[in-house]
Amino acid sequence: MSTGATASHPILAAVGQTPLVELTPAFPELPPGTRLFAKLESVNPGGSIKDRPVSRMITRALAEGRLAGGRRLLDSSSGNAGIAYAMLGAALGVPISIVVPGNASRERLDRIAAHGAELILTDPVEGYDFALRHAKHLAATQPERYWYSNQYANENNWRAHYETTGVEILEQVRSATGGLPDAFVAGVGTGGTLTGVGRRLREAAPQVHIASVIPDIFPGLEGLKPLGTEGDIVPDILDEALIDHRQIVPIEDAVATCRRLARAGYYVGPSSGAYVHLALRVAALGAHRVVVTVLNDTGERYVSTGMWAS
Ligand code: PMP
């Protein structure tokens, strides 16, 4: 692809415009009159919500000539962004290098490799912050080889959600209910979803309640950062002022919710179970009638973790 080219490929057009599904019937414990909705992000071509920010980051980098001369796009990822970069890189002819903690599920690592991206694995025990620091180090020491996309600081990450996910939620909630969302629940990996959707919803509905899932420190929830412990890197793009309420969700609760969702037809990964678990807690307060959250990725990506074994 030549410098300054505008990227165009049918796969880019397949990203986003996901269904907003109503989960209310699956959770009879919801207070009467309260409705729970979720964006079904597993239908994106890369199987997760990360296709949205990655398509924006990669196409902007191409348009700005950042990848001229065969420079590789480098980033760190818990796996889903890595899949999106690898898939879109393969489609657009952009060489990709991804730094992933070694504890990422086998399915993620295999798919990144299948698309032909370079995988750089870091010590599983060190977690996402170490992978991030390693990517930074590679970019600083080999600037001629790598262009560092840095999803934790890249404005195109949250803007993708501001321009697409947030707009879709407002339109779809309006057509389903005739009104605005009263609460939004998400977690923080890079903070792109929470910041972009949160900003868009706040503009349209200033009273909207925003709640954030915090994973347990160990074993954690794939895709989400622990935040709040001394030394945790807070993503540059995360707008913490948007968050009204934070709550730790243990992995057992997240997985139990995934099992309930599977029985209702939604086969999703543990971060989605955690979001829905907290969304149910928020709904139980009785103060928010229309609660919206996100189903981030497919449950098939976690078979090797044993979460579905009975
Ligand atoms: N869930 C999963 C499974 C993810 O991979 C991610 C991204 N790391 C998130 C949630 C959080 O998304 P964001 O980066 O927008 O905070």
So what's the pLDDT on residue 3? 43
Residue with token string 């919801």: 30
Q: How much distance in Å is there from the Cα of 196 to the middle of ligand 1?
A: 13
Model pTM?
0.96
Q: Which residues of the chain have pLDDT under 70?
A: 1-6, 218-219
Q: How much distance in Å is there from the Cα of 53 to the middle of ligand 1?
A: 11
Atom of ligand 1 nearest to the CA of 196: 15
271 a catalytic residue: yes
Are 3-48+163-305 and 51-148 the same fold in CATH?
A: yes
Distance CA 273, CA 215 (A): 12
Out of 2.40.50.140, 1.10.3720.10, 3.40.50.1100, 3.40.50.300, select the CATH number for domain 3-48+163-305.
3.40.50.1100
CATH code linked to domain 51-148: 3.40.50.1100
Kindly report, residue by residue over 248-272, the tens digit of the pLDDT: 999 999 999 999 999 999 999 999 9
Distance CA 53, CA 192 (A): 8
- Ligand 1 surroundings by CB, under 6 angstroms: 48, 50, 78, 80, 187-194, 222-224, 269, 271, 296-297
Which among 77, 149, 271, 272 is annotated as catalytic?
A: 271
Q: How much distance in Å is there from the Cα of 1 to the middle of ligand 1?
A: 29
Neighbours of 203 (CB within 10 A): 12
Pocket test for ligand 1, best of 80, 185, 221 (most atoms within 8 A of CB): 80
So what's the pLDDT on residue 218? 66
Kindly report, residue by residue over 41-53, the tens digit of the pLDDT: 999 999 999 999 9
Q: How much distance in Å is there from the Cα of 304 to the middle of ligand 1?
A: 19
> Which tokens hold the place of 137?
């180090």
So what's the pLDDT on residue 82? 97
So what's the pLDDT on residue 6? 61
So what's the pLDDT on residue 177? 98
- Residue spans of the domains in the chain: they are 3-48+163-305, 51-148
Which among 50, 55, 77, 212 is annotated as catalytic?
A: 50
* H helix runs in the chain, sequence order: 10-13, 51-63, 80-92, 106-114, 127-141, 155-160, 166-177, 192-204, 251-263, 270-284
So what's the pLDDT on residue 230? 77
Nearest CA to ligand 1 atom 5: 223
Q: Closest Cα partner for 164 from 266, 56, 67, 81?
A: 56
So what's the pLDDT on residue 4? 44
